[in-house]
Amino acid sequence: MTNKKNILLVDDDLDQLEIVGLYVSKFGFNPIKIDNQKEAETYIENNKPDLAIFDLMMENEDSGFILSYKLKKKYPDVPVIIITAVASETGMSFGLDNETNKTWIKADLYLEKNIREDQLHREMKRLLN
């Protein structure tokens, strides 16, 4: 039996899902890759990941926020990272740098896509410790 931490990855961009999955494996974790909100909700109902990384916009423009909310409601101690390209695609900007956003964004970290491997590794280690 393995002691690797399970990292839930949810992104409808299969290339991004594969890249982040490779990073997560390289860091010594077990990636659980899911490409849609519905399957992710089912996974969350039946499993507790050690950390989750969600894309923001999937089937819905707020899929990542919905998944974060549901995960935190069931498992408040599981860290959540939202990785998105929403700012570059829409010009809208979100973040956890003010109290207003922190009250409705149920995530521990918000990062723009094309995140560097070393940055992701550093942030994951920080959140898991």
Domains of the chain, CATH where assigned = 6-128 (3.40.50.2300)
Give me the residue label for tokens 């995530």.
107
Residue 71: is its pLDDT beyond 80? yes
Q: What is the 3-state secondary structure (H, E, C) of the chain?
A: CCCCCEEEEECCCHHHHHHHHHHHHHCCCEEEEECCHHHHHHHHHHCCCCEEEEECCCCCCCHHHHHHHHHHHHCCCCCEEEEECHHHHHCCCCCCCCHHHHHHCCCCEEEECCCCHHHHHHHHHHHHC
Helices 117-128, 14-26: axis angle to 10 degrees equals: 60
- pLDDT above 70: percentage of residues in the chain: 82
Residue 110: is its pLDDT beyond 90? no
Residue 106: is its pLDDT beyond 80? no
Residue 13: is its pLDDT beyond 70? yes
CA dist 81 and 38 (Å) reads: 18
Q: How confident is the model at residue 24 (pLDDT cuts 50, 70, 90)?
A: very high
More confident residue, 3 or 81: 81
Q: What is the pLDDT of residue 41?
A: 96
Q: What is the pLDDT of residue 86?
A: 58
Task: Quote the pTM value.
Answer: 0.84
Residue 95: is its pLDDT beyond 90? no
Mean pLDDT of the chain: 85
Residue 101: is its pLDDT beyond 50? no
Give me the residue label for tokens 């909310």.
69
Please give the C-alpha separations between residue 52 and each of 88, 89, 100, 109, 125, in angstroms, as whole numbers: 23, 23, 22, 11, 13
